[in-house]
């Protein structure tokens, strides 16, 4: 409940005020948060009527003084009422900001609703982010619009808070029957929009910064292919299906360079410098130098008549579909138990390995296989472009048996 009240206050700058006077401040309280507005007027305490919230009649010029204070109070009340009429929370920082802007004659920025700013955010970055990344943001917008209809609410800056978070989680996992990993992607996108708007002074609400407004972390057991399994793909005779052959060769190229699909599908001749592939990654904008390993050299020799010594790329979705067919053809049929969460429920799904192959499996395979070869983590990270070991370690997908075997090999070498 918002309350507005005049109070007398001694200031740390009291030297600017007569010793027997106090500043008249307007105190605004809302949701246990307090802010003060200085009326630019000072008064001896004996002339202040606390109960009546006005200057006593015994003070010369009290009528004009009280009219001034009433007008001052009205300015703040008008701001609070306007916010409430618009369905916005009149939080103290927001009211103080609007008051200051009006007082100082600051030109007001164009106001955006949450969804309008979402569109602005994507438009401003359309040439800076990958198509797949933009697609995830678009998915978030669509899912939030569906939630609005379900919850019968209109989302805006002020109600992106923990009440929304809990209700959206319930809707996403229980009503829609979707998993926590998908929910977390949406939350990550929402937080990015809210933070960007705060940095650019389009939003002052910070409900998304609550300690429990979390991006839920979940290891969904993504696979990698061993070098033996990659060799099975290489050994396939695909001479009668050039599209499948191109898919296989591009995937193997990714398995031995560690590049993302967005990068290995855009390799140009100028990126090839002798025995090194030097490329600026699209996602992070970092330059990486990758040695051209024998498996990569064989592919480049095979397509030497093409401008970039590689097969023409397919779109990501098409390539993912063909990769599953290639995995089945190579008999990559190990059973994989995929464990996910839906709210508080644990979801287990048994899949064949080839059913889980996608373009990103190549990058994960590179990191894991190089790690298994004993190449130092820092060396691999310089090639994959990972900035932290935490992010890199999420790519290492060796099993407990493989981990034990690596430890045995380590000790046998040092013996």
The CATH code of the domain that includes 326 is 1.10.443.10
DSSP output for 287-328: EEEEE--HHHHHHHHHTTTSTTSSPPPPPHHHHHHHHHHHHH
- Residue 145 CA: distances (Å) to CA of 49, 149, 155, 410: 52, 7, 9, 54
Residues 86 and 67 in one domain: yes
Which of 413 and 44 is assigned the larger pLDDT? 44
Q: Is residue 320 part of a domain?
A: yes
Strands 272-273 and 54-55: unpaired
Residues 45 and 145 in one domain: no
The predicted structure's pLDDT at residue 220: 57
Residues 312 and 290 in one domain: yes
Least confident of 243-257, 316-330, 349-363: 349-363
Residues 281 and 356 in one domain: yes
User: Domain of 83?
Assistant: 3-104
Residues 351 and 276 in one domain: yes
Least confident of 78-87, 383-392, 403-412: 403-412
The predicted structure's pLDDT at residue 380: 86
Whether 389 has a pLDDT exceeding 60, the answer reads yes
The predicted structure's pLDDT at residue 413: 60
Q: Is residue 389 part of a domain?
A: yes
The predicted structure's pLDDT at residue 285: 74
What CATH number does the domain containing 151 carry?
A: 1.10.150
Residues 321 and 192 in one domain: no
Q: Is residue 216 part of a domain?
A: no
Residues 240 and 368 in one domain: yes
Three-state secondary-structure class, residue 91: coil
- Residue 133 CA: distances (Å) to CA of 90, 139, 262: 34, 10, 11
The predicted structure's pLDDT at residue 128: 74
Residues 123 and 84 in one domain: no
Last residue of a domain, one of 52, 75, 104: 104
Round to whole Å and give the CA distance between 350 and 371: 27
The predicted structure's pLDDT at residue 24: 92
For tokens 């050994």, name the residue: 235
The number of folded domains in the chain is 3
Q: Is residue 21 part of a domain?
A: yes
Asked if 246 and 226 count as a contact pair (C-beta separation under 8 A), the reply is: no
Mean pLDDT of all residues belonging to the chain: 84
Q: Is residue 44 part of a domain?
A: yes
Q: pLDDT by residue (tens digit) across 158-176?
A: 899 988 988 898 888 878 8
Q: How many CA atoms lie within 13 A of 199 on its CB side?
A: 7
Residues in the chain: 415
Residues 305 and 193 in one domain: no
Asked if 342 and 177 count as a contact pair (C-beta separation under 8 A), the reply is: yes
pTM: 0.55
Last residue of a domain, one of 104, 130, 161: 104
Least confident of 196-210, 254-268, 306-320, 340-354: 340-354
Q: Is residue 221 part of a domain?
A: no
Q: Is residue 357 part of a domain?
A: yes
Q: Is residue 325 part of a domain?
A: yes
Last residue of a domain, one of 182, 209, 236: 209
The predicted structure's pLDDT at residue 374: 84
The predicted structure's pLDDT at residue 69: 93
Phi, psi at residue 215, to the nearest 5°? Answer: -85, 110
Residues 40 and 139 in one domain: no
Residues 334 and 357 in one domain: yes
Which of 124 and 328 is assigned the larger pLDDT? 328
Residues 88 and 152 in one domain: no
Cross-strand pairs, 204: none
């Amino acid at each position: 409940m918002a309350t507005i009240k005049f109070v007398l206050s001694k200031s740390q700058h009291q030297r600017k005020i007569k010793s027997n006077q106090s500043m008249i401040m307007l105190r605004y309280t809302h949701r246990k948060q307090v802010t003060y507005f200085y009326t630019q007027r000072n008064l001896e305490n004996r002339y202040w009527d606390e109960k009546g919230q006005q200057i006593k009649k015994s003070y010369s010029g009290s009528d004009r003084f009280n009219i001034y204070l009433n007008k001052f109070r009205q300015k703040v009340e008008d701001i609070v009422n306007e916010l409430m009429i618009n369905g916005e929370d009149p939080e103290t920082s927001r009211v103080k900001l609007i008051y200051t802007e009006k007082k100082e004659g600051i030109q007001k920025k164009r106001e955006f609703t949450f969804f309008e700013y979402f569109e602005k955010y994507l438009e401003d970055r359309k040439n800076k982010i990958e198509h797949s990344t933009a697609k995830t943001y678009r998915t978030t917008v669509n899912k939030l619009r569906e939630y609005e209809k379900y919850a019968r609410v209109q989302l805006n800056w002020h109600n992106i808070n923990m009440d929304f978070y809990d209700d959206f989680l319930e809707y996403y996992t229980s009503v829609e029957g979707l998993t926590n990993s998908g929910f977390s992607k949406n939350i990550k996108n929402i937080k990015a929009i809210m933070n960007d708007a705060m940095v650019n002074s389009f939003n002052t609400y910070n409900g998304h910064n609550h300690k429990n407004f979390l991006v839920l972390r979940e290891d969904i057991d993504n696979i990698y292919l061993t070098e033996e399994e990659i060799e099975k793909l290489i050994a396939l005779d695909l001479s009668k299906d050039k599209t499948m052959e191109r898919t296989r060769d591009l995937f193997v190229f990714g398995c031995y360079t560690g590049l993302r699909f967005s990068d290995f599908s855009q390799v140009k001749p100028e990126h090839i410098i002798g025995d090194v592939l030097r490329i600026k990654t699209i996602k992070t904008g970092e330059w990486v130098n990758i040695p051209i390993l024998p498996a990569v050299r064989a592919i480049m020799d095979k397509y030497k008549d093409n401008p970039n010594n590689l097969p023409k790329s397919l779109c990501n979705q098409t390539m993912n579909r063909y990769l599953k067919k290639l995995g089945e053809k190579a008999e990559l049929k190990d059973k994989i138990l995929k464990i996910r969460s839906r709210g508080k429920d644990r979801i287990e799904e048994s899949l064949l390995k080839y059913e889980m192959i996608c373009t990103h499996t190549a990058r994960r395979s590179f990191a894991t296989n190089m790690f298994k070869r004993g190449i130092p983590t820092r060396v691999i990270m310089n090639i994959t472009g990972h900035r932290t070991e935490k992010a890199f370690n999420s790519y290492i997908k060796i099993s407990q048996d493989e981990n034990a075997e690596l430890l045995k090999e380590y000790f046998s070498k040092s013996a």
